[in-house]
Amino acid sequence: MLEDFKLIQPIAYKTLKNTLKKQHFAHAYLIETNGYDLADRFTMAFAKLLLCPHNGQADCQSCLQCRMIDDGNFPELKIINPDGSWIKKEQLTELQDEFSKKSIIGNKKVYIINKAEKLNINSANTILKFLEEPPEGIVAILTTDNIYQLIDTIVSRCQIISLNGQADLDNKSTFEKIGQLITNNDNDYQNYLVDSNKDKLEAILKFVSFYETYHKKILLHMQDYWFNYFTDKEVIADALLIIIYLYKDILNWKINCDVLIFNDYMEQIEKIATSNSVENLINKIVIINENRNFLENNANLNLLMDKIIIDLEEGVK
Ligand SMILES: [Zn+2]
């Protein structure tokens, strides 16, 4: 229940409490998890607040709605998780079909889209239409680990609730943090923690360091520095995501904010931060993210990677 978060997430807690008090709900919320490891539980507490006739309060332990929500069979709550590297358009059209029917229980419907940064261009457009003309009584809750990866038009339509993730990330290694950010559930996370993925992370650091030193010349070494480690689309999608996180941390260092994820690689962070302007770093994040969005529809991975390097060189003056 929401009360569980009173002390650990005081700001988010208060925001939702006030919303409840005023009975003024937005059509769409975006929960920025910041890597908080109980973000899923927070999201479910929020869904109960919206759907339970007692707002999922402390005294409501066993109402029909709450029990059905806990069992995962409450018809007016749909939860969408990424299917692999992406949230697919079909997952969202299915949701919209189901939600176009009248509520069976209560007068509200809620859908949760976890890891909304994994919306691709097609699925983002689908959800955008839903967010632009929200049907009566439907509330959207999107969650994201990386708000910078969502298109602005989605972010601007949501009320943002930012969770404090620092405390839980602080004592983890960069590798573990990356695992938490790119996997979709605890099981996937446990499977992620193997040496081959650690090697991939090291390869990403080497790739970026080489690029930052030799720029376009890396095009002659793409096999050694990239394709020996990353071959299929899903793996490349994750690797590009990790590079985006890396540049975000370099940007953090540059603007005197905390390095959130790549604290095990401070030497590289400082070096790259020194040779880039703030504007350069922001451009790089945008360029990599734009190209990553084309990945799903792009058959030639060699060309795509070359294009990223060329765009980075041309876009960053
Ligand atoms: Zn209840």
- Encode pLDDT of 32-43 as tens digits: 998 888 899 999
CA 48–ligand 1 middle distance (angstroms): 7
Domain end (from 169, 190, 212): 169
- For residue 3, pLDDT beyond 90: no
189 or 184, higher pLDDT: 189
Q: pLDDT: is 223 or 290 the higher one?
A: 223
Q: What is the CATH number of the domain that holds 51?
A: 3.40.50.300
Q: Are residues 196 and 133 in the same domain?
A: no
Instruction: Tell me which residue of 153, 144, 140, 72 sits closest to 112, measured CA to CA.
Output: 140
Q: Is there a single domain that holds both residue 15 and residue 159?
A: yes
Residues 105 and 194 grouped into a single domain: no
Element (H, E) at 51: helix 39-51
Domain that holds residue 53: 2-169
Output the DSSP codes for 80-127. E--BTTBB-HHHHHHHHHHHTSPPSSSS-EEEEETTGGGB-HHHHHHH
Q: 317: pLDDT confidence band, cut at 50, 70 and 90? A: very low
Task: Please identify, among 147, 169, 191, the residue that sits at the C-terminal boundary of a domain.
Answer: 169
Å from CA of 67 to ligand 1 middle: 7
What are the tens digits of pLDDT across the range 43-92? 999 999 999 888 877 656 678 888 899 889 999 999 999 998 899 999 99
Asked whether residue 37 falls in the same domain as residue 138, the answer is yes
If one counts the domains in the chain, the total is: 2
The reply to whether 158 and 179 lie within a common domain is no
User: Rounded to whole angstroms, what are the CA distances from 161 to 6, 128, 150, 289?
Assistant: 14, 19, 15, 23
111 and 213 share one domain = no
C-alpha of residue 55 to centroid of ligand 1, in Å: 6
Sheet of 28-32: strand order equals 77-80, 109-113, 138-144, 28-32, 159-162
Q: 50 CA to middle of ligand 1, Å?
A: 10
Whether residues 164 and 182 share a domain: the answer is: no
Same-domain pairing of 114 and 232: no
pLDDT computed for residue 147 by the predictor: 85
Ligand 1 centre distance from Cα of residue 238 (Å) = 38
pLDDT bucket at 192, cuts 50 / 70 / 90: very high
Record the pTM.
Answer: 0.64
| Residues whose beta carbons lie less than 5 angstroms from ion ligand 1 | 52, 54, 60, 63, 66
Q: 32 and 138: one domain?
A: yes
Mind listing the pLDDT tens digit for each residue in 133-181? 888 889 999 999 888 888 888 999 999 999 987 655 567 899 998 987 7
Contact call for residues 201 and 174 (beta carbons, < 8 A): yes
CB 308 within 8 A of CB 292: no
- Supply the DSSP string of 133-157, one letter for each residue: SPPTTEEEEEEES-GGGS-HHHHTT
Q: What is the distance in A from the centroid of ligand 1 to the CA of 239?
A: 41
CA of 20 to the centre of ligand 1 (A): 15
Nearest-angstrom CA–CA distance, 281 and 262: 16
Are 150 and 114 contacting, i.e. CB atoms less than 8 angstroms apart? no
CA angle 244, 248, 250 (to 5 degrees): 115
Two structure tokens written together for 162: 């930012």
What is the Å distance from ligand 1's center to 53 Cα? 6
Residue-level length of the chain = 317
Radius of gyration of the chain (CA): 21
Q: 32 CA distance to ligand 1 centroid (A)?
A: 25
Region 205-217 average pLDDT: 97
Q: 184-196: buried (b, 16+ CB within 10 Å) or exposed (e) per residue? A: eeeeebeebeeee
The domain boundary, picked from 141, 169, 197, lies at 169
Ligand 1 centroid to Cα of residue 73, in Å, is 14
pLDDT top residue among 316 and 224: 224
CA distance linking residue 154 with residue 269, whole number of Å? 30
Co-location of 33 and 152 in the same domain: yes
**Does one domain contain both 151 and 80?**
yes
| C-alpha 220 to ligand 1 mean position (Å) | 61
Please choose, from the candidates 37, 35, 55, 42, the residue with its C-alpha nearest in 3D space to the C-alpha of residue 11. Answer: 42
Contact 109, 137 (CB under 8 A): yes
Asked if 16 and 31 touch (Cβ cutoff 8 Å), the reply is: no
- Is residue 206 located within the same domain as residue 133? no
Is 74 strand, coil or helix? Answer: coil
Question: 3-state DSSP call for residue 185?
Answer: coil
pLDDT digits (tens, 9 = 90+) for 265-290: 999 999 999 999 999 998 999 899 88
Q: Residue 167: its pLDDT value, please? A: 54
DSSP annotation of 225 reads I
Please tell me the distance between residue 45's alpha carbon and the centre of ligand 1 in angstroms. Answer: 10
